[in-house]
Amino acid sequence: MPQTRYPQLKQAAELWRCAISGLGVEVRPDVPTLRRKLSKLTLAPGVVDGQALEYFGYGACCLLAGALHELTDWPLAVAVHRPPAGLARWVHMGVAPAPGRFFDIHGDRAWPAVMAQYADYDVTMIGHVTLDQAVMVGAIGGDGWDHLCVPVVAETIRYFAEALVERHFTAAAPLREVV
């Protein structure tokens, strides 16, 4: 039997007789999402819908950023809230495919667009961080981002990362099943 990068997703898709993108993978974040306060979401691997935008845009952005970094080796980038007094806190994480660019569940865009999107959270700057810095603040686990979630969710996040890169950085690339 040929190896697949997504054994659990492939097995579930075969069981349900559907494409991997037709599956519903339930996730229950430890902390509700920032915007809609959701504590249970259903993701269809590679499908950017309201659930995916909420989970990766306002909840588990660090997991998708970790998968994107793992796939592309692009630097991690963070949107930061820095109050006049006190410690800065990260509001959102993605990767930087080029100087001044930010890539995440919303696609590839300029830093000012990201700052505008997260203006309600008082983002004051965007910068690069190293993998070690992300580990230090707990955004990514010391053993890798994928150790912060169960294997089927890690596969789902990797599937999203590949689909997003393929959609945004290859010409007219539809999502394809990897088997």
| pLDDT tens per residue across span 73-97 | 999 999 988 777 777 778 899 999 9
Is 88 inside a domain boundary?
yes
Does the pTM of the predicted model rise above 0.95? no
Number of structural domains the chain divides into = 1
- Taking the C-alpha atoms of residue 47 and residue 24, their distance in angstroms, rounded to an integer, is 10
* Mean predicted confidence (pLDDT) in 138-146: 64
Residue 45's domain comprises 7-169
Is 100 inside a domain boundary?
yes
Is 174 inside a domain boundary?
no
Is 94 inside a domain boundary?
yes
Is 115 inside a domain boundary?
yes
Is 51 inside a domain boundary?
yes
Is 81 inside a domain boundary?
yes
Is 179 inside a domain boundary?
no
Nearest to 47 by CA among 177, 146, 148: 177
